[in-house]
């Protein structure tokens, strides 16, 4: 039987205590005030998804859907997250005495930052759980990414920035968020 999105999520777990929480429900932090981690049934996944089948999928974040907690394709909020290239920067590394250097080129993601991947997942889950607005404190790209994904999802977003946040970050967030407060 083919497996779908989120089929291999086992549970959520407190990052500090290991206490378990039910997946597919809206949670904040754990009772210990710590983030919750998604845990998977990896042996089952290994049996169900071959490397060959994975290779056949489009080169996007969503090719790894069984390893993401998003419950369905319909729940996915996407701006076109590609698998970012790895660039060989060994020549630059040799100038500093290193033997090799590989750099992940994250600037090709929709919001220009690696934060796009995390926000795509977070906002997809939030929307699938009925959340209508999101709030984030940021001094960087996380706020702009969250605002962009909330906009795509039809959700309100509120971005709080310290006074010394670079103006370009504030402007990116303001493009999508109803209010960006610094």
Residue 55 within a domain? no
Residue 38 within a domain? no
Cα dihedral 54, 56, 58, 59 in deg (nearest 10)? 60
CATH of the domain at 85: 3.40.50.1100
Determine the structural domain holding residue 119 and report its residue range.
77-182
- pLDDT at residue 15, rounded to an integer: 97
Residue 63 within a domain? no
The structure's pTM equals 0.86
Residue from 165, 129, 164, 127 nearest 146 by CA: 127
Express each pLDDT in 54-102 by its tens digit. Answer: 999 999 999 999 989 999 999 999 999 999 999 998 888 788 788 888 9
Residue 159 within a domain? yes
Residue 113 within a domain? yes
Express each pLDDT in 12-61 by its tens digit. Answer: 999 999 999 999 999 999 999 999 999 999 999 999 889 999 999 999 99
Residue 15 within a domain? no
Buried-exposed string 140-161: b where 16+ CB fall within 10 A, e elsewhere: ebbbbbbbbbbbbbebbbbbbb
Residue 46 within a domain? no
> Structurally, how many domains does the chain consist of?
1
């Amino acid at each position: 039987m083919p497996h779908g999105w989120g089929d291999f999520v086992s549970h959520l777990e407190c990052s500090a205590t290991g206490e378990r929480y039910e997946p597919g429900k809206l949670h904040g932090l754990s009772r210990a005030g710590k983030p919750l981690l998604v845990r998977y049934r990896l042996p089952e996944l290994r049996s169900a998804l071959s490397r060959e089948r994975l290779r056949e999928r489009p080169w996007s974040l969503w090719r790894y859907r069984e390893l993401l907690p998003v419950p369905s394709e319909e729940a996915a909020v996407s701006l076109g997250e590609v698998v970012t290239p790895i660039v060989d920067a060994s020549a630059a590394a040799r100038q500093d005495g290193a033997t090799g250097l590989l750099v992940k080129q994250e600037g090709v993601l929709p919001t220009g930052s690696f934060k796009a991947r995390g926000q795509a997942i977070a906002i997809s889950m939030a929307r699938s759980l009925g959340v209508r607005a999101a709030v984030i404190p940021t001094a960087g790209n996380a706020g702009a990414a969250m605002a962009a994904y909330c906009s795509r999802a039809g959700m309100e977003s509120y971005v709080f920035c310290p006074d010394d946040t670079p103006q370009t970050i504030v402007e990116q967030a303001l493009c999508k968020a109803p209010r960006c407060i610094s």
